[in-house]
Amino acid sequence: MKRFLKSKWRSIPVGVVSMVLIFALVAGSAFAAYNFWSADVDMEVLEALEIQVDGTDNTWIDGDGYRVVPDGYTFTIPDAHPGESASIHVKVVNVGWADLTASMSYTVASYPAGGATKVTVTSDWTGGQPVAAQGSTEAWVECNVANDAPPGAYTVQIGFNRY
């Protein structure tokens, strides 16, 4: 270390100059950047996708034309018989500014004895559908009752997911 501090290049003390520059760099960087102002930003991000259902020609959905359906809504399909299906025309509207993909899943939540697999839901949404920013995508959701479905009350939970 002593040898380095005493070394010279064309009569310039290289070691001493290097040590002074390193010290100045370390000390300068510690004082060069400091926070003189800060603020918090509180924001609430809203869901960009909304579900709309067409009530036209469906006596079991109130109203005509497309309406926004709130989360937790219950559709009542009266008088379904074995072998029948009930159609719900669904439009997923993207009110956001980014393209999103939506998919649908369903669960038969309650059913009479022997009816666990007797009601199914089919739709193009089950595989996922792109929904353009500020756009919409429409598809049918079919609630199908098997030919051998026992009578009773069934509850099918339909969920839309985005990813």
pLDDT given at position 6: 65
**pLDDT one-digit tens code per residue, 94-106:** 999 999 999 999 9
Task: Clarify whether residues 13 and 58 are in a common domain.
Answer: no
Handedness of CA 155, 156, 162, 163 (dihedral sign): positive
Can you list the residues of the chain whose pLDDT is less than 70?
1-11, 28-33, 57-63
Assigned token pair, 149: 């479905």
The pLDDT of residue 119: 94
Q: For residue 60, what pLDDT is reported?
A: 58
Helix (H) or strand (E) holding 160: strand 155-162
For residues 122 and 155, membership in a common domain is answered with yes
80, 142: one domain: yes
Q: Using an 8 Å Cβ cutoff, are 86 and 80 in contact?
A: yes
Range of the domain at 126: 49-162
Residue at 37 is within a domain:
no
Is residue 38 in a domain?
Answer: no
Residue labelled with tokens 């009930």: 86
Q: CB-based burial of residue 21 (10 Å sphere; 0-12 exposed, 13-18 middle, 19+ buried)?
A: exposed
> Which whole-number Å values give the CA distances from 147 to 43, 79, 81, 87, in the listed order?
51, 14, 8, 17
**Residue 96: inside a domain, yes or no?**
yes
Give how many domains the chain has, as a whole number: 2
pLDDT of residue 61: 65
Same domain, 76 and 6: no
